[in-house]
């Protein structure tokens, strides 16, 4: 019996759906206090992402070094400094920084229109 052919786009779609489910489960477990299980779910989602060359879901906020889902106020600290968003993981003490240029551009455009 021959196997059914599955296209790469279908494989990536399935992978994306599974990653979204795993990220949701990871966040739920982190809120319940089961950090080991949350870490495992996020590790599985990252492994699927790497294997199928699909990006992680946009809303997935996680620590790249320890794979814990980052939930502000619970296990991470978020600060706005020097036109950057700093997310500090309280599990492994790593800091993730990224610019918030979109908000600054919108503010400048608003001031120019006045």
The pLDDT, as a whole number, for residue 15 is 94
Higher pLDDT, 17 or 83: 17
Reported as a pLDDT band with limits 50, 70 and 90, residue 69 is: very high
At 84, is the secondary structure helix, strand, or coil? strand
pLDDT (average), residues 81-94: 92
Check whether 89 has a pLDDT greater than 70: yes
> Does 101 score more than 90 pLDDT?
no
Buried b (16+ CB within 10 A) or exposed e, 2-30: eeeeeeeeeeeeebbeebeebbbbbbebb
Q: Give the percent of the chain with pLDDT over 70.
A: 93
Confidence of residue 5 (pLDDT cuts 50, 70, 90): confident
Average pLDDT of the residues of the chain: 89
């Amino acid at each position: 019996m021959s196997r059914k052919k599955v296209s790469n786009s279908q494989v990536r779609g399935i992978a994306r759906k599974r990653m979204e489910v795993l990220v949701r489960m990871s966040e739920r477990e982190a809120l319940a206090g089961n950090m080991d299980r949350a870490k495992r779910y996020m590790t599985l989602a990252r492994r699927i992402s790497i294997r199928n060359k699909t990006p992680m879901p946009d809303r997935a906020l996680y620590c790249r070094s320890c794979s814990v889902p980052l939930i502000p106020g619970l296990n991470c600290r978020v600060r706005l400094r020097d036109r950057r968003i700093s997310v500090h993981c309280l599990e492994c003490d790593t800091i993730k920084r990224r610019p918030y240029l979109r908000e600054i551009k919108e503010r400048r455009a608003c001031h120019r229109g006045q």
